[in-house]
Amino acid sequence: MKLLQRLRQTTGLVGLTLIFFAPSRAAGERQVYIIPFSHLDFFWGGTREECLARGNRIISRAIDLCTRYPEFRFLIEDDDFVANFMESHAGMPEADALRRLVKSGRIEIAPKWVAAFQDLQDGEVLSRNLVYGQRYARSEFGVMPKTAHLGDIPGFTPQYPQVLHQADVPYMVMTRMGPSDRSLFFWRAPDGSQVLTWFTLKGYGWGSHLGLHQDIDPARLATIKKELSEVEATTQAPILMNWGTDLWAPNDKLVQNLSVLNREIPGAHFQFATPDDYFASVCKLTGLPEVSGEIPSSWPNIVASLPHLWPLVIPATNTLLAAEKFAAINYALKYGPYPQSEFDFLWKKLIESTDHNHDGQGGWEGDERKRGYSELSILRGGEILRDNLRNIAERVKIPVKPSFPLVVFNPMAWRRDDVVKAHITLYGDVVPARIEDYRKGMRLVDENGTAVPFYVAQYSENMSRALKLTFIAREIPSLGYKTYYLCPAQNTESFPQTATVTLDEVNDRKEPRRALGSDVVENQYYKLSLDRATGRVTLFDKELQRDVFQNMEIVANEERGGNYIGIEPLSGRTFPATVDDIRVEENNGVRAVVTIVEHLVEMPVTQRLLLYKDLKRLDVENTVEWRQPRLVRVEQLFPYSSAGAHIQYGVPFGSNAAD
């Protein structure tokens, strides 16, 4: 202290940076970097607010330990908890203390916003998670974290190293589902990008499982030595040992035990570090192994178990993306302001809805909050989108008169032919109900006056008339629009039906004692054969002159129960569906719709098959009314027999071969 006082007196320094050197270590000792952290779960340990409040307590504890122990380090795994601490402590000394510790590198924050799943949402959410995390770290603290610590994430998409690389995040800690024979490796994406990765073979709570925060007695010491040697066998590199698990707070004993470990475990040298510290010590090592590919989720039944949550995420993502694109066009054309702050809020809430927790102590309220965030993005994002589309549509010229224009927008980067379902209300010039010309007949045309087949799926009337139209829009420009016009006509033009239908029931009178056959529905591209006895469907491609699949059906595989989000063992019994009815619901100038009504282990199941006019496409829509508990795995089977054929399934930014 006298030395410090003399320095201040002689140099006039206002502040002084103290550098604490780690105790010297013997040559050949294995370095063990202890990474204190807390796995800051949303919704798992309580409601969102309860988890955030617990997070504040943990961060305050970490600040206190850093203040009293210069050697202590701490990781805050996700920036949503950091932001909550800074917002709730605005103007308070704790916020200034955290900012100083982060800038000095003693507390490390994350390059990501939340601990999100990787294999359930659109890839855009994975990217935005890093965008908002990095942006927050840079703007609030002036730092760029280099390590993504993925505590408790059960699976990984193969493109994630590329996403990290493009976000300037070169390092990653994987805590589940990694290789069992190596701890430190390069994980390579399909494009060749790679990140240096540490896999915690003993789990993300390894140090807390070992009890580093408790008295280290001989039995505990033996366990530490044993597990340390097991991890050492997988790498020649220094060891990364996490301390912390779900909402745990570090204590003084954890810090005090550092000297005990260094004294009692020869051949190893322990020190506290952040993940960035660890990777700085190993990033120049050579000869490290390389792995690539997807790591499937160890919780494969998340979507099936939580159908009220996850199917909303992708529509919400698509809504926000489209809203951003057309808001940018509006802003560039000076049609309106760009709602940046609203987009930031909605994206963060949508990202939070993909947090990896559910069915926790937060209860139904926690899951409802996640669902609400997705619905909020769809509702408010949809309003922003429609307002910006309105601004463009109001400026579209109407060369075809009289007419009601219908502007079809395409938010994608390619020209599209696609099915349009539109609501359009007809009004008279002065009196809304004076639409006699449209009551006689209607005609839908493009800008050249070419008639477009359409189908009125539904209409309603009180003060005038509202219609729900279905038609095929063609050659819609990328990130642009095309206008169609609903005009009055002397009569509504009839168009050739989409499909020819041959029903098996017409043979009933001819051969009343015959066996049931198949209904056949075909357009210019496909022939659908529907077995009336089994409900199985075969699809024949006329261009390829072969079956795409044979005997497509829905079945139920009986399970024996277990952890509902994991893989439950099968009993070996498979239940087919029983057919109640097969009927052709629509066959007009736009589409043909066939409905198969079935029961599967007493559950009503409805399958709708949709063929389109002049569009090579088959849509399959399944509805399962799961009203009672059933230990079954419902599967949609697509049996195929083509040589060399294989199934692809989607992953963020790509697809993988199922076999």
Tokens of 467: 């219609």
pLDDT at 295: 87
Burial of 96 (0-12, 13-18, 19+ CB in 10 A): exposed
Query: How is residue 504 annotated by DSSP?
Result: G
**What does the mean pLDDT of the chain come to?**
92
**Torsion over CA of 425, 426, 428 and 434, rounded to 10 degrees?**
-110
Average pLDDT score over residue span 604-630: 95
Confidence of residue 458 (pLDDT cuts 50, 70, 90): very high
Contact (CB, 8 A) for 490 and 438:
no
The arithmetic mean of pLDDT across residues 154-179, rounded, is 95
CA distance 447 to 400: 7
**Has residue 10 got a pLDDT over 60?**
no
Looking at 362-477, list the stretches that DSSP marks H as alpha helix, in order from N- to C-terminal side.
363-393, 436-440
Distance of CA 129 to the CA centre of its chain: 10
What letter represents residue 276's amino acid? D
pLDDT at 8: 33
CB of 216 within 8 A of CB of 224? yes
What is the average per-residue pLDDT within 74-99? 98
State the Cα–Cα distance between residues 457 and 420, nearest whole angstrom: 12
Give percent of the chain with pLDDT exceeding 90. 82
Fold (topology level) of 26-110+145-289: 7-stranded beta/alpha barrel (3.20.110)
Q: What confidence tens digit (pLDDT) does each residue in 354-409 have? A: 999 888 888 888 889 999 999 999 999 999 999 999 999 999 999 999 999 999 99
pLDDT band at 319 (very low <50, low <70, confident <90, very high): very high
Strand partners, 596: 582, 607
* Residues found in the chain: 659
Average pLDDT estimate for 192-221: 97
Q: What is the pLDDT of residue 364?
A: 85
> Does pLDDT of 4 surpass 70?
no
pLDDT at residue 363, as a whole number: 83
DSSP character at residue 140: I
Q: Is the pLDDT of residue 634 over 90?
A: yes
Q: With H, G, I as helix, E, B as strand and everything else as coil, classify residue 75.
A: strand
Fold type of domain 500-657: Beta-galactosidase; Chain A, domain 5 (2.70.98)
* Sign of the alpha-carbon torsion through 462, 465, 466, 467: positive
Q: Are 391 and 328 in contact (CB under 8 A)?
A: no
The answer to whether residues 92 and 59 touch, using CB atoms and an 8 Å cutoff, is no
Query: What does the pLDDT read at residue 13?
Result: 31
130 near 114, Cβ under 8 Å?
A: no
Whether omega for the bond prior to residue 488 falls within 30 degrees of 0, making it cis, is no
CA-closest candidate to residue 286, choices 173, 168, 186, 146: 186
Instruction: Reply yes or no on whether the pLDDT at 473 is more than 80.
Output: yes
**Burial of 299 (C-beta count, 10 Å sphere; 0-12/13-18/19+):** buried
Residue 512: what pLDDT?
A: 84
| pLDDT for the residue 27 | 54
Q: Is the pTM of this model over 0.95?
A: no
Instruction: Answer for the pair 637, 553: CB distance below 8 angstroms, yes or no.
Output: yes
Contact 195, 165 (CB under 8 A): yes
Distance CA 76, CA 559 (A): 40
- Map residue 598 onto helix, strand or coil: strand
Residue 83 has pLDDT above 70, yes or no: yes
Question: Which tokens in the block code for residue 587?
Answer: 């066959």
Q: Return d(Cα 193, Cα 292) in angstroms, integer.
A: 10
Pairing of strands 74-76, 107-108: parallel
Closest alpha carbon to 520 in 588, 640, 618, 505: 505
- Is 450 a residue whose pLDDT tops 60? yes
| 49-80 burial: b if 16+ Cβ within 10 Å, else e | eebbebbbebbbbbbebbeebebbbbbbbbbb
Under the phi-then-psi rule, with left for phi > 0, alpha for psi from -120 to 50, and beta for the rest, what region is 168?
left
Q: Specify the DSSP element, H or E, that contains 35.
A: strand 30-38
Eight-class DSSP state of 574: E
pLDDT number for residue 304 = 76
**Structure tokens that stand for 230 in this block:** 């097991």
The 8-class DSSP code of residue 551 comes to E
Average pLDDT of span 328-343: 97
pLDDT digits (tens, 9 = 90+) for 237-247: 999 999 999 99
Per-residue model confidence (pLDDT) at position 26: 55
- Give Cβ neighbours of residue 650 (< 8 Å, ≥ 6 apart): none
pLDDT at 124: 94
Say which CATH superfamily domain 404-488 falls into.
Golgi alpha-mannosidase II (2.60.40.1180)
Which of 67-81, 112-126, 397-411, 480-494 bottoms out in mean pLDDT, i.e. has the lowest?
112-126
- pLDDT the model gives residue 7: 31
Q: Give the confidence band of 12 by pLDDT, cuts at 50, 70, 90.
A: very low
Q: Is 633 left (phi over 0), alpha (psi -120 to 50) or beta?
A: beta
**What does the angle CA 281 – CA 286 – CA 291 come to, to the nearest 5 degrees?**
100
For residue 139, what is the DSSP state? I
pLDDT tens digit string along 278-312? 999 999 999 999 999 988 888 888 777 788 888 89
Mean pLDDT of the 413-423 span: 96
Q: Please say if the pLDDT value at position 443 is more than 90.
A: yes
